[in-house]
Amino acid sequence: MKRHTIYAAFLLLLLSSCAWQGSVLIDPDDIIYTPFRFEPPKTQRVELENGIIVYVLEDHELPLVNISAVVRMGSFYDPPGKEGVAELTGTVMRTGGTRSMTGDQIDEDLDSIAGITAVSVETQSCTLSLSVLEEDLDRGLEIFSDILINPAFAEEKITLAKALETEALRRIRDNPQKTAFREFRRLIYRGDPRGRISSIESVERVKRGDLVTFHRQFFRPSNVMIAVSGDIQRENMVEKIRARLGGWNAPGVPGGFPPPPVHAKASLDYLFKDTPQSIVLVGHLAPGKENLDYYAFEVLDFIIGSGGFRSRVFGEVRNRLGLAYSAGSFYSSQTHYGIFGAYAMANASSTLDALSAMTKILNEVKSKGVEPEELAWAKQSIINNFIFSFATPDRIAVGQMMLEHDGLPDNFLTTYKNNIEKVGLDDLREVASRYLSEESRVVLVLGDRERFDRPLSSFGDFHVTEDGAGADQ
């Protein structure tokens, strides 16, 4: 091994003045890289007396501090008929003031110190983030904590947030991609709270009391984790957080997130949109992150469509057939469940060609598996790219916090590469047949069927669906 390296180094020296001239250009696959060992900096974990878990990582390169708080809540818990409550709770926490400050005062304070606070609400989590200059940390943290614990939900800011959300829903159908992915979500999660999505009507029904209740239910110390990175002193930072949040007392842990039910049968839905380009989505429920199938499915998804130009959907639908500019697949996984989808935004007159090509790819990985070279390529790509999980201190700190938030073991990251390495050809075929069954396949086609290459019925019985954004005017 060592000899090999020396030889290669010698060869490089010989080549050094003429790297690409003539025929001696080195084969890119033969380049030898100096191995390096990388130990990500250690994040410190502290549990406050009231149950808040804090991850801290110092980084003094720039005078900036980033704080993220993740809360186990989300649109999963939207009351039926009032879809949008979780989202509005997050929005108006940020805008609607606190017990000691109005929303306008907070805005003014934050803008004048160039601090940024944002709240994002997902299906199963809500993240409140703060980015602030080091010298303004105390003021920033004061506002941040107050928003977290004491939001006032001022009525006029609720009215504003509802109006803006309603307009956003009204405008969703102007965006074919957003429309399609929203609808896909409803279909893949049918019969599950995750498939209930806000509409103009459901947002209209939301009242201030709903937000107050929602906040009270989920914002509890034992349901909150915080990650801090940047220009801080660790001990000092923990003390600052303890001073602001340590006295917060609201015991109890709200419920968890049961996984969505598995579909009994396949579906084919058509959503009309007058557009020269159709959007085709083919989806399945997929394994959760704690599942041993997770690693094999990551590799499978990479090969099917998320591995760039070489992946099958991209290679076939875009490169070989030239039917689309955007095509590929995605796999998004939580604890206990995930979703997988292959997509293409195809020329309307090639809609059925694209759909057939995609389903054929899915069926083939089930029946024939994948090539050994594809497996090697996918594994090596995933493993080599893994280092970017540690590219910035903020990513490291938040990543560590999210592991605990998701209920994953804290060695998840250190064993990840090894687990990917172990994936074999048989594993891929096994997960493909377990999760990509035609009997549970959800297909959505958005477009104008008058312009399709063949009738959609030639692919199967289809259901004509409407977008769920709600009534206009």
Q: Enumerate residues 360-379 that contact another protein by CB under 8 A.
A: 377
> Residue 312: which of 359, 268, 345 has the closest Cα?
359
Specify the pairing of strand 463-465 against strand 267-272: parallel
Residue found by looking up tokens 């941040």 in the block: 144
Angle at 248 between CA 407 and CA 136, to 5 degrees: 90
> Residue 451: which of 313, 347, 368, 378 has the closest Cα?
347
Task: Find the shortest distance in angstroms from Cβ 104 to another protein.
Answer: 8
Q: Which is nearer to another protein, 126 or 154 (CB)?
A: 154
C-alpha distances (whole Å) from 161 to each of 73, 75, 84, 228 are 19, 16, 11, 29
Site for another protein in 85-144 (CB under 8 A): 95, 104, 107-108, 110-114, 131, 133-136
Task: Find the shortest distance in angstroms from Cβ 33 to another protein.
Answer: 5
Q: Which is nearer to another protein, 192 or 231 (CB)?
A: 231
When asked if residue 34 is in the footprint of another protein (CB under 8 A), the reply is yes
C-alpha distances (whole Å) from 352 to each of 212, 420, 442 are 48, 35, 15
Q: Which is nearer to another protein, 113 or 266 (CB)?
A: 113
Return the range that interacts with another protein (CB under 8 A); candidates 35-43, 254-262, 405-413, 431-439: 35-43
188 three-state secondary structure:
helix
> Residue 378: which of 330, 307, 289, 297 has the closest Cα?
307
Candidates 97, 176, 288, 338: give the one binding another protein (CB under 8 A).
Answer: 176
Task: Find the shortest distance in angstroms from Cβ 228 to another protein.
Answer: 15
Q: Which is nearer to another protein, 152 or 245 (CB)?
A: 152
When asked if residue 251 is in the footprint of another protein (CB under 8 A), the reply is no
Q: Compose the 154-173 pattern: x for residues touching another protein by CB under 8 A, - for all others.
A: ------x--xx--xx-xx--
Return the range that interacts with another protein (CB under 8 A); candidates 13-21, 145-153, 187-195, 261-269: 13-21
Task: Find the shortest distance in angstroms from Cβ 271 to another protein.
Answer: 14
57 three-state secondary structure:
strand
Q: Which is nearer to another protein, 133 or 408 (CB)?
A: 133
Q: How many residues does the chain have?
A: 473
Q: Compose the 297-326 pattern: x for residues touching another protein by CB under 8 A, - for all others.
A: ----------xxxx----x--xxx-xxxxx
Q: Which is nearer to another protein, 183 or 394 (CB)?
A: 394
DSSP assignment of 239-266 equals HHHHHHHTT----------PPPPPPSS-
Q: Cα(360)–Cα(200) distance, rounded to whole angstroms? A: 38
Site for another protein in 375-434 (CB under 8 A): 377, 380-381, 383-388, 390-394
Q: Which is nearer to another protein, 49 or 167 (CB)?
A: 167
Site for another protein in 211-240 (CB under 8 A): none
Total residues at the site for another protein (CB under 8 A)? 84
H-only helix segments in 386-466: 393-405, 412-421, 425-435
When asked if residue 1 is in the footprint of another protein (CB under 8 A), the reply is no
Q: For residue 146, give the H/E element and its range.
A: helix 137-149
Site for another protein in 37-56 (CB under 8 A): 38
Site for another protein in 338-357 (CB under 8 A): 345-347
Residues 6+ apart with CB under 8 A from 169: 198, 199, 200, 203, 469, 470
